[in-house]
Amino acid sequence: MLTEEPGGERWYVVHTQPNGEARALDHLRRQGFEAYLPLIRKRRRHARKEEIVERPLFPRYLFVRIDIDRQAWRSILSTMGVSTLIRFGEHPAPLPQGVVRALRVRQEAGLLAEPALVDQLRPGDCVTLHDDPYGDMIAQFVRLIDRERIIVLLDMMGRAVPTTISASSVSSVAPAAPR
């Protein structure tokens, strides 16, 4: 069970400027605040290349630990990269105890990762394909061959043609329509 954090320090939520999470994190730390930006591993495809990158788990949000009775927390409001501090009225709104600790434990254990799209596929689902030569085609998922390959039905010249494609070619999934 997670225990209370010592002293009057609590974790608060900072809302950042668009794509400003890293800048806000850096500037908060330079001011002496303990700040945490939980990251998730995501698969990114660009120019026919695929790589795993880390992105903010909560885009435009990060956490800062402060003692509002002892620290000059209002300086956070004018920190580069920060839009505001989430507040109730004039006072920052603290997170429930243990939330940040639980996120850190999950991140350190490698549990903050984007689920593989193939794990979500069910026979009959409509999938959008993004790789050449199928750019933005819609197909129907048939079955998984392995973690890297799937079989889909492509509509070609009025016929449903079973085709084996790379699982990474799927960019989105829509559940099968109920019958």
pLDDT at 125: 86
Q: What CATH number matches the domain at 117-174, 2.40.30.10, 1.25.40.10, 2.160.10.10, 2.30.30.30?
A: 2.30.30.30
Sequence ranges of the domains in the chain = 10-108, 117-174
Name the token pair of 2.
Answer: 């997670």
Residue 15: is its pLDDT beyond 90?
Answer: yes
87 within 8 A of 76, measured Cβ to Cβ: no
pLDDT tens readout for residues 45-103: 677 677 778 889 899 999 999 999 999 999 999 999 999 999 988 889 999 999 999 99
Residue 148: is its pLDDT beyond 90?
Answer: no
Residue 130: is its pLDDT beyond 80?
Answer: no
Residue 128: is its pLDDT beyond 60?
Answer: yes
Fold of 10-108: Alpha-Beta Plaits (3.30.70)
**How high does pLDDT run on average in the chain?**
84
Written in H, E and C, the secondary structure of the chain is CCCCCCCCCEEEEEEECCCCHHHHHHHHHHCCCEEECCEEEEEEEECCEEEEEEEECCCCEEEEEECCCCCCHHHHHHCCCEEEECEECCEECECCCCHHHHHHHHHHCCCCECCCHHHHCCCCCEEEECCCCCCCEEEEEEEECCCCEEEEEEEECCEEEEEEEEHHHEEEEECCCCC
pLDDT at 23: 97
173 within 8 A of 142, measured Cβ to Cβ: no
Q: What are phi and psi of 134, to 5 degrees?
A: -100, 15
The CB density around residue 91, as the number of other CB atoms within 10 Å, is 11
- Average pLDDT on 6-23 reads 90
Q: Do domains 10-108 and 117-174 have the same CATH topology?
A: no
- Of 16, 92, 109, 96, nearest in space to 61 by CA: 16
pLDDT tens readout for residues 160-171: 888 888 777 777
Q: Does residue 56 have a cis peptide bond before it, meaning omega lies within 30 degrees of 0?
A: no
85 within 8 A of 14, measured Cβ to Cβ: yes
| pLDDT level of residue 144 (50, 70, 90 thresholds) | confident
58 within 8 A of 39, measured Cβ to Cβ: no
Residue 153: is its pLDDT beyond 80?
Answer: yes
